[in-house]
Copies of this chain bind each other. A is one copy, B any other.
Amino acid sequence: MSMRYSAEQKEETRQRIIRAAARRFRRHGASVGIGQLMKSLRMTHGGFYRHFRSKSDLVEAALLEGFRDMRIQMMEAIGNAPPGREIDAIIDFYLSEKHCNDVGGGCPIASLAEEVAREPLPVRQAFERAMESASASVAQFMNGEDAEEKRRRATIFMSGMSGTLAVARAVSDAALRRRILETGREFYTETFAKP
């Protein structure tokens, strides 16, 4: 198990690639090329295959990284909220203009779900696991009769908000975009954040 470069050094590069990919795929779609991606890290495309067996492997890893990134931001939003107001905080963050503008650093469901549906099985499986885990996290703050209902409501809540965010991003008029986000915040708060 000897090696010239420390394992940490190699892992560090791998993580840099994944983090860059997580941003660029969310921003421009998973069709972003490996060439451009490596170039943005001041490396050449050839080195990529020392870290990943194929581009599809990177898509999978970057997708999971996007979910991890989102989880951190969600936790932060929740952390600043008074107890019992966690769902309000999630909504205000998720449907904020800031999140809407930050496609590359935002929710991977809202930027990549439609593309994931066209990806091979391993990517869809990774998406599913991440989605289920995110649902479980949100479910604990959800109202509902039992754990199972909370969980199901959490899935509808998140997938619904992701659709509203995706549509807000797709329209061309900034005023309409703001109106969609605002109406969305009102609706989801009314429907999911009432005690």
Tell me the smallest distance from the CB of A18 to a CB of chain B, in Å: 20
Q: State A167–B171 Cα separation when bound (angstroms).
A: 20
Count of residues in A whose CB is under 8 Å from the partner chain: 48
- A161 on the B face (CB < 8 A): yes
Set of chain B residues within 8 Å of A28, measured between Cβ atoms: 118
Q: State A156–B168 Cα separation when bound (angstroms).
A: 10
Report whether over half of chain A's contact residues are helix, strand or loop; otherwise say mixed.
helix
Tell me the smallest distance from the CB of A150 to a CB of chain B, in Å: 12
- A114 on the B face (CB < 8 A): yes
Q: Number of copies of this chain in the oligomer?
A: 2
Set of chain B residues within 8 Å of A128, measured between Cβ atoms: 170-173, 176
Least CB separation from A177: chain B residue: B128
Tell me the smallest distance from the CB of A90 to a CB of chain B, in Å: 15
Least CB separation from A164: chain B residue: B159
Binary per-residue interface labels of chain A (135-171) against chain B in the complex, 1 for a CB within 8 Å, 0 otherwise: 0000000000000000011011011111111111111
CB-CB nearest 9 A-B residue pairs: A163-B163, A160-B160, A124-B172, A159-B167, A117-B169, A116-B170, A128-B171, A159-B164, A162-B163
